[in-house]
Amino acid sequence: MSSDHQNKRKSEIGEGSSRGGGTTGGLLNIPSDSQQPPPAAPPQLSRYESQKRRDWNTFGQYLKNQRPPVALSHCNYSHVLDFLRYLDQFGKTKVHLQGCVFYGHPDPAGPCTCPLRQAWGSLDALIGRLRAAYEENGGLPEMNPFASGAIRVYLREIRDSQAKARGIPYKKKKKKRSTPILKANEEASRS
């Protein structure tokens, strides 16, 4: 009874307030315990869920296309590693080879013939989605090839080599650095 009363008081927004609603947050401030999950899953999937589903289908298709086709139950980490290498041909991230003049430059001044690869961050996120999808589709956690230590090692190597080749350290991003190296000259000439 008393809590009911409190809720009621809380939901009453001050009348005649000239404050435009910014601070009281009356309408959008839904108490967390009143958020009931909808009885049926909505047909619209979140971006993550639909991406996960798409990735899972792509991986399933990849296994089917192997000769001979690989059953999901026989899939192990080496298939996953092959899959990651296979995806590189669709990559859009320039990863400079060690002989390239732009090796280690985050902002190359011109074109080069180095290959395009899948960026480490994309692969890392992809593995996370597939690892979840594997178990959601009946795979046993202890058999999960996406959780294999070999995958983790591979991703770490990719991260380190791309960080060197692209001159981009993959650490916690600090606040935006406002001076890109190559454009810094223009900025500096002002002072």
158 is written with which tokens?
């990719």
Nearest Cα neighbor of 79 from 141, 51, 87 is: 87
Asked if residue 121 lies in contact with residue 93, where contact means CB atoms within 8 angstroms, the answer is no
Nearest Cα neighbor of 59 from 149, 134, 124 is: 134
* β partners of residue 94: 116
114 binding Zn ion? (CB under 5 A): yes
112 binding Zn ion? (CB under 5 A): yes
Closest approach of Cβ 98 to Zn ion, in Å?
A: 10
Give the binding range for Zn ion (CB under 5 A) out of 8-16, 19-27, 112-120, 178-186. 112-120
Please, which residue, 104 or 128, has the CB nearer to Zn ion? 104
Question: What letters, b where the CB count within 10 A reaches 16 and e where it falls short, cover 140-160?
Answer: eeeebbbbbeebeebbeebbe
Asked if residue 53 lies in contact with residue 45, where contact means CB atoms within 8 angstroms, the answer is yes
Binding mask 76-105 for Zn ion (x = CB under 5 A): --------------------x---x-x---
Please, which residue, 96 or 129, has the CB nearer to Zn ion? 96
Please, which residue, 148 or 162, has the CB nearer to Zn ion? 162
The residue type at 10: K
Give the binding range for Zn ion (CB under 5 A) out of 17-25, 35-43, 107-115, 171-179. 107-115
168 binding Zn ion? (CB under 5 A): no
Q: Which residues bind Zn ion (CB under 5 A)?
A: 96, 100, 102, 112, 114
